Structure 1
Amino acid sequence: MYRFSLEAGSIVEIEVDGSFESVLSLYDDEDALLMTDSTVRLRSEEGGDYAVVVSGDSSDSYGPFSISSKNIELNDTGVLVVPGTTSGWLQSEPRSYTFTVSENSAYQIDVVSADFDSVLVMEGPNGYYTENDDGGEDNNARMGDLLVPGEYTLTVGSYEGRQGLFDIKISSLDIQITESDTLSLGSEITGWMSAGSDSYSLEIQEEGEYQIDMRSLSLDSVLVIEGPDGFYAEDDDGGEDYNSRIIETLKPGSYQVTAHRHPESEAHSGVYSLYAGRR
């Protein structure tokens, strides 16, 4: 057991390095257990005395170890730099931030945390609203969209109600929206769905097996293909990361490829891509 004190508002990270699988248990000054993990991070709201206990995760876990702690400094002002990265701390309530977009542009926004499953909500001009839970890697939140000028609010939350450290990363996306309603084999179309659905024509010259993909970072994509002789195919999550993919044998003729968003999707608008090719 190791005892230490923290000032109000300070954030500490404690880690153990050793030859065995270790567990850290954190207690307050009344010996109430606050958390147990391989690495513990704590923000002391009012300051006080704490204790951390190092143990093995089983009766066979023992040996030498070193324990280290460090204070974490945040650049959290509540206002986000675009593009840029801001580090923050989530306590018991969701944390809100504002940022300003000066011109029409596409952005990707990530909330990355090793402490909790992040949830992200974004609100903006003209009733704009979108949210995401697991759009990024390792259950982190991610969204990408074309944003119009104005002030936006980002709200970061935890799916499990946990606390911890997180980073908000806003990146500019170099996206050129395709000004065409024709999907050509071997090429990719980039679209922006603002409402309803978008349809594209696809010409098949030779019978064969074809693959059509719809991908999006923010939309829950749904893909529909209609063609000759009553042909109809639809897919929701057949691709990677819950994206849509249709693999079918298509006969020569004219087809209509329609990009939808799932009716239960919280994101009403977003950037997506369509690709069609022969397998």
Structure 2
Amino acid sequence: MKIFQRNTGLGIIAGLLVMWPALVGAQAQELVRENVVLEAGLRTPTRVQFQVESPGLLLFDAGSIDLQPILSLEGPGGFSAQAEESQGRSQGLVYAPQGDYRLLIESADRQGSPPREVQVRVTLLQPENRLGMGEGVEGRLTPDSFMLPGSNRSEWYLVEIPETGTAVISMHSSDVDTLLTVYYPDGRIDSNDDYGSGTDSRITLRGEPGVSVLLGASALFGEEGAYSLDARIPEPPPALRLGELLRGQVFSSGSGDELRYEFTAPKSGYYRFSLSSSDFDTLLEASLAGGTRLSDDDGGEGSNSMLTVPLDEGENAEIIVKSYSGSGSFELVTALIPDPPALELGTAVSGELSPGGINRYSFRGRAGQLVSVQLVSQDFDTLLFVTTPEGTSIENDDASQPRGGSSAWDYVSRVEYQFTGDAPLFIEVRGYSQEDSGAYELLVTELDSDSIVPYREGARLELGEPVTSFLSAMGIEASSDDWYGESRVGQVYTIGLTEGRAYQITLESDSFDTFLQIDGPQGEAWENDDGPEDTNSLLVLTAPASGQYRLTASSYSGDAQGIYTLKVEEFELGELVLDQRGAIGAAQVEQEYVLTVSQPGTVRINLQSQDFDTRLSLLDPRGIIMAEDDDGGSGTDSMIVHDLNEPGIYTIRVMSFSSDAAGEFHLQVYRKDL
């Protein structure tokens, strides 16, 4: 198979955009090539639309000598991808299904500047080489082989997923250290370098039968040489039996090497699957009927894994053994957990936890019932682990002070759950560390579900009227490109706001650490984790435009659940008494400002910076710190709200969370009478 490349350099912004090659045996089609103009500081992205007529590997990037572009891709069925950013360029590489797409281009620079030109290009690669099941292919990597940006020369193949939904691809070479890479239509990317003791590679394809994936065969270090590929349908997974100790070996981390076993429950109950290894960090997964998928990395002792799975008699589960990192031998054992003691509603149970121990309980509720499971201790840092009848696991380490109990308890864990049927919860009492031990109290109470408004996606909020609802770990996925680069389960509301008016938005919960996201009608975005005083979220914003705003209520961990209250109300900022812009750096790591107070009032201090993670302190007239804040504002900005009852001269100290950070900041202080 002969492959060569032809450079089609852009020639406009030299050295910034990739020179995509074309192929013999493949098609490289340029879909977009145009200049767009961006203005730094503008949060509304520029959009470029295009169409993909047949699936392929989509390479998209943007480059500029004047600013750092941010490039994202949206496509059919909720498809999305984010380009990587580096030195004036953003590049992305995905398998793109057929359909309509749009690129969103904006500037990473938030300080205003004159409009700047950015060149955008999209190229679609469609290999014509196919690798069928039971077939073998001989090939050679040469200087003419196709090269992806930031990668080595590769030869590409289309592989169709067989009727079994699983295929194994192997690559062998005595000339090069092999590397296999797979791009799936749903956005997944998988790769494998060394399978076993040599430098051969093997990868397992899993997907919907009849769907084609893109397979890249390359050399890890860019070597040239001959290789061979083969594709086969693996044997059905062996059966896993209750009480059986199964031994095996994993040769590499990732899904390129995973072992699957079928288990059928002989009776209804909770089953414990334990995976242990002294050679590698284990990863255990379970795939259940209805698409539920459970996963555990370090739920066992050390780096071992453990899953608790509720199964009905005759129900099947697929148990998947993987390596989080490393390779070697493992042991897998299955056990039926004896029926644990049943908890009664409203009756506290006292117990004693031994070091490294786990004490188990169960509680059976009724459909629609909303309960709180609370664990408190003065002796150790509590960890509450609850397995639901749906098979999902919910855990909580630190909650607020206990409900209906003494505030003397030092450690509190709490999980809230709303039953969908009458199957029981499986509850485990643990310590946060293996050394934790001591006395504890466990209590299940019923919560008032009448005050809970059932969530409906996109429900409208009314100004000044709080909404109390229940955040479920089975909810919808909120925005995945937030400040932390993570996706989180959330519930989305809308509300109409008026340009120029100030609003205060609060998200409060006694059950979890809240996380609030707001999206404006013109692409604006705000978010907050912890307000100035606790783990509740608080944002104060002046609406930049009239229209519908999108509010997402979620948790900081991304998968917590429990009762929350969301409220939007008009807010009086008060008199602007201080408005300063400044900078910090190596020569001056902090700045101080004087605030003179003549009569009692409430101050709101906002510290914003696009250059560094801000930190803010308020000192009383004696120089004692009254309040401090890191991320109480939007994103990494800071905010302090405090009542100043005594006249005097107060000090505001502006700093960075990191001691070596530098850049510009904006400090504003508003004051209103008590």
What TM-score does the superposition give when structure 2 sets the normalisation length?
0.27
- The runs of 5 or more residues in structure 2 that have no matched partner are 1-341, 344-362, 397-411, 474-488, 583-591, 596-603, 618-627, 631-637, 640-651, 655-663
User: Are 1:120 and 1:154, in contact at CA under 8 Å, matched by a contact in 2?
Assistant: yes
Unaligned runs of 5+ in 1: 179-187, 192-197, 201-209, 224-234, 248-258, 262-270
Which structure shows the higher strand fraction? 1
Could you report, residue by residue, the CA deviation over 1:173-205 in whole angstroms, capped at 9, with x for unpaired residues? 112565xxxxxxxxx24x6xxxxxx769xxxxx
CA drift at 1:273? 1.8
> Structure 1 residues 67, 164: closer, same or farther in 2, change over 3 A?
closer
Which deviations, in whole Å up to 9, do the C-alpha atoms of 1:27-74 show, x marking residues without a partner? 445998654674331133x423114659797865279x8753234241
Report the Cα offset of residue 14 of structure 1.
4.0
After the TM superposition, which residues 1-279 of structure 1 pair with which residues of structure 2 at under 5 Å, given as runs? 1-2=342-343, 3-7=363-367, 10-15=369-374, 26-28=386-388, 34-35=394-395, 38-44=413-419, 46-51=420-425, 60-61=438-439, 68-73=445-450, 74-75=452-453, 76-77=455-456, 78-92=459-473, 93-102=489-498, 104-147=500-543, 148-161=545-558, 162-176=560-574, 178=576, 188-189=577-578, 211-212=593-594, 215-216=605-606, 220-221=608-609, 236-239=614-617, 240-242=628-630, 243=638, 245-246=652-653, 260-261=665-666, 272-273=668-669
2 CA distance for matches of 1:150 and 1:118?
Answer: 25
Q: CA deviation at 1:17?
A: 9.2
CA contact (8 A) 1:80 1:98 kept: yes
Residues 369, 418 of structure 2: 8 Å contact kept: yes
- Amino acid of the residue matched to residue 211 of structure 1? Y
Deviations 1:141-164 (A, max 9, x none): 211011243211101222212222
Aligned-pair CA distance for 1:132: 1.7
Contact 2:504 2:541 in 1 (8 A): yes
Distance of 2:614 and 2:389 partners within structure 1: 52
Look up the equivalent residue of 1:68 and give its one-letter code.
Answer: T
Q: Assess, with a 3 A threshold, how the Cα gap between structure 1 residues 39 and 119 changes in structure 2: closer, same or farther.
A: closer
**2 CA distance for matches of 1:23 and 1:164?**
16
Match of 1:232 in 2: none
Which has the larger displacement, 49-58 or 99-108? 49-58
Please give the alpha-carbon distance, in whole angstroms, between the structure 2 residues aligned to 1:134 and 1:35.
Answer: 20
Whichever of the two has the greater Rg, that structure is 2
Distance 1:31 1:100 in 2: 39
Q: Once the 2 structures are TM-superposed, how far is the Cα of residue 211 of structure 1 from its aligned partner?
A: 2.9
After superposition, the Cα gap between the structure-2 partners of 1:118 and 1:33, relative to the gap in structure 1 and judged at 3 Å, is closer
After TM superposition, the structure 1 stretch with the greater mean CA deviation from structure 2, 117-126 or 12-21, is 12-21
3-state SS of 1:6 partner? coil
Q: 1:146 to 1:59 in 2, by over 3 A?
A: closer
Q: Kindly tell me: are residues 163 and 215 of structure 1, through their superposed partners in 2, closer, same or farther at Cα, counting changes over 3 Å?
A: same
Residue 108 of structure 1, CA deviation? 1.0
TM-score (norm 1): 0.58
| CA separation of 1:91 and 1:16: change in aligned 2, threshold 3 A | closer
Q: Deviations over 1:107-148 (max 9, x none)?
A: 111111223222211112333221222234322221101124
Per-residue Cα deviation, 1:212-263 (whole angstroms, up to 9, x for no partner) = 47922xx63589xxxxxxxxxxx9424231349449xxxxxxxxxxx835xx
- Aligned-pair RMSD on alpha carbons? 4.4
Change (3 A) 1:31 1:126: closer
Paired with 2:510 and 2:551, the residues of 1 have a C-alpha distance of 19
